[in-house]
Chains A and B, each alone.
Chain A
Amino acid sequence: MNDRQQKMSLFLDKLWNNPAISRKPVRKKEREILNFIRENQASLQKVFSSPDYFPGESWNDSVALLLSLLVEKVLDSLAPQIDRIGQGLLQSGVIAHFDSKAGVDARCFGEFLTGLMRTRILRDQYHIVIETITLDLFRRYMPPAIVQRKTIYNEIVRRERLDLDANLIPEFMNAASLFRPLYYHRIPYKKDLPDLVSLHEARLDRKLYDTAVHAMKDYIRERVGQVPECIYLPGLESCLDASAQPDIAGASKLINIMVNRCEAYDPDVKPDRGAESPDKSWFNINRRDAREFGYDARMLDELYQIAGDEGW
């Protein structure tokens, strides 16, 4: 690390370790710092052009350095979680259950995720997915849903003929959700042509969408290995509107709900006396606009009922 990078790194450390944000999740820390840079651009310009920092250097160069170091900082902070998730995914035996020959390496998978997270849009998506897995939302809600055998069980297990041990279903959901951000990842979809498209961009053109899905399958096989389609496809399709496309997998619908639930979750905001529990409130608020937000209303009903029963 050269002198210039060291100076900026120290500057970034001051922001990163500031007591105002030091206890926040990585996703919020990054957002806070980006908002801080935006809000204080004029003052920062003065600071960076001062003799103590980078005299004579343009604002664009300084801020580019700051942002690149911020990305590294974020990725370094998430590395242990990514490793843990990768290890957990492979050790759980979910992938092996569907395809005993599937060869996925934990280290490669971690590197694949880290590589994707260098892109801002994918990093934003992965932040939430990683938080969803870390918060154990699937492990919390799946057991009661399996016992009740209502919508969630019927949609995920019976309809899809999911032949998995009940204990492995939350792991399956976690694994599938790791592929959700790829919906926004732009990849080449025409052979030997540099044109890029994401599934999100292609969603309105059926033919293009099918082509993009096909290209994504090849991309995953190349980069990650032989991951069974029944794992990554529910993840990719979880970004689709469940009310507009009711035929998508039940796992996709549940992943969509849970990831969005996690995005709105703020551990610092606690309910006061007289307020409903956080999950119950969120499910009830969102089931009123389920159609608008592309959620499965019946799943939200069931999750609302589980959250109420469990006091979540």
Chain B
Amino acid sequence: MTQPGDNSDHFHPVIENIIFVAIVLVILQMIAENLAVIYHVPQDVTTGIIIAGFLFDLLFTLEFLGRLFVSGKRSGMGYYLKRQKGWIDFIASVPLLLLVSGPALLARFGNIEEGGTALEILMVMKTAKIIRVTRILRLIRAIRLFGHIHQTDSAMTNRHMGMLSTVCVVALIVVLAASHYFPFARTGDQHDYLAWRTPQLNAMIAAFAGDGSRETLLEFIRTNPINSDLIVLKDGSGAELYRSPDYSTLLWTAFHAGRDIPLAGGWSAVLSTHITDGERAKFELALLLCIIGVILFIMFGYAPIFAQQVSDPAFVMLKGLRNPDYNFEVRIREDLARDEIFQLARTFNEEWLPLKNRMRKAKGSESEEKSSLTMEDL
């Protein structure tokens, strides 16, 4: 087994570049997916986005399995999962494929009005909705790749930036996930929405059930935007009083996979989830933009500060210790002179470099240096 190293989970550079492009594209896909929910775009567009999401999840699942296999051979699966953030690759791939995009695709191409398997799949999908946000974690992989480009000299900076980004992103996701369990904090919860919407529909039915005519009720439904989620309304005898003009568009977003929701007086309705889904999509989009903003700030705002205050002085000292010809002092910022790294740098400047200089002079410097020429050169 090879020695564990930072690159032991790496594929061929061409594959790494393809994955990097896929990560960028999946972020765009996430934005498009949320925008599609917010603006309730036509079903075929949404279908395209769902298929794209499935393909990305499939690709990232294969990537995860590939890395697991490759690092298993090189440095051990445990090393990859723990030290190389393989757990992030896992969370952002396999569960999404099995619980989100896979079921979504099956539900899309199944017949939801017939119930059965597709219906059950949708239920699973809805309970697993919360893990959708873990797609954002793929950004961490992009940061790791980007970090190698941005801070090529410093493994410490790369790792630190990756760690900090992971902590920030995971913290935001955990807060979002936790907020789902607090009624006062959650947004776009379908159960809450239904609990809020049902009394409204009951009040509307009560108002028109006595003496109101069917036309007045229909007029009220059509003119009141809040009822745009109403797909079908049936009276106590089961007769259909109202069917939305967007019936076919809305049906695939219906609560309980299109089954009737019982209302007061034996009435029932089929309701669309698109309003509450839109709220959730807005929240997720805000979270996504927030995470992208945090990551960009870390990469471009914090990384240079970290490099200047930690990794650059360490790098200069390391190079000065290793390379006999590298005799540059570490630049010490007076306002940070009490930091441990700069105290170390001061010792390096004041003790090591003069000692090295004395040794160099005593040794006669260049005469003992190894020549850059070899017999092979001839």
Which residues on A sit within 8 Å (CB–CB) of B330? Answer: 274-276
Number of A-B contacts (CB under 8 A): 98
Say yes or no: B312 contacts A39, CB within 8 Å: no
Which 5 A-B residue pairings sit nearest by Cβ, starting from the closest?
A274-B312, A275-B328, A35-B371, A36-B371, A36-B373
Residue on A with the closest CB to B360? A264
Which residues on B sit within 8 Å (CB–CB) of A285? Answer: 327, 329, 349, 353-354, 357
Contact of B371 among A32, A263, A288 (CB under 8 A): A32
Residue on A with the closest CB to B309? A274
How many residues of A sit at the interface, in one of the four size bands? 35 or more
Does B326 lie at the interface of the complex (its beta carbon under 8 Å from any beta carbon of A)?
yes
Say yes or no: B307 contacts A271, CB within 8 Å: no
0/1 string, B345-356, CB within 8 A of A gives 1: 000011001100
B-binding segment of A15-23, A144-152, A176-184: A15-23
Which residues on A sit within 8 Å (CB–CB) of B331? Answer: 274-276
Contact of B328 among A14, A28, A281 (CB under 8 A): A281
Does B367 lie at the interface of the complex (its beta carbon under 8 Å from any beta carbon of A)?
yes
Among B342-378, those with CB < 8 Å from A are: 349-350, 353-354, 357-358, 361, 365-367, 369-375, 377-378
Say yes or no: B153 contacts A20, CB within 8 Å: no
Q: Which residues of B contact A (CB under 8 A)?
A: 153, 307-308, 311-313, 315-316, 319, 323, 325-331, 349-350, 353-354, 357-358, 361, 365-367, 369-375, 377-378
Contact of B349 among A28, A36, A284 (CB under 8 A): A284
Is the contact region of chain A dominated by helix, strand, or loop, or is it mixed?
helix
Expressed in whole angstroms, the minimum distance between the Cβ of A303 and any Cβ of chain B is: 15
Which residues on B sit within 8 Å (CB–CB) of A293? Answer: 361
Say yes or no: B315 contacts A31, CB within 8 Å: no
Which residues on A sit within 8 Å (CB–CB) of B357? Answer: 285-286, 289
Say yes or no: A278 contacts B328, CB within 8 Å: yes
Say yes or no: B313 contacts A35, CB within 8 Å: no
Q: A273-B307, A274-B315 are in contact. Are A32 and B373 (CB under 8 A)?
A: yes
Contact of B329 among A33, A43, A281 (CB under 8 A): A281
Q: A32-B373, A39-B371 are in contact. Are A14 and B378 (CB under 8 A)?
A: yes
Say yes or no: B329 contacts A276, CB within 8 Å: yes
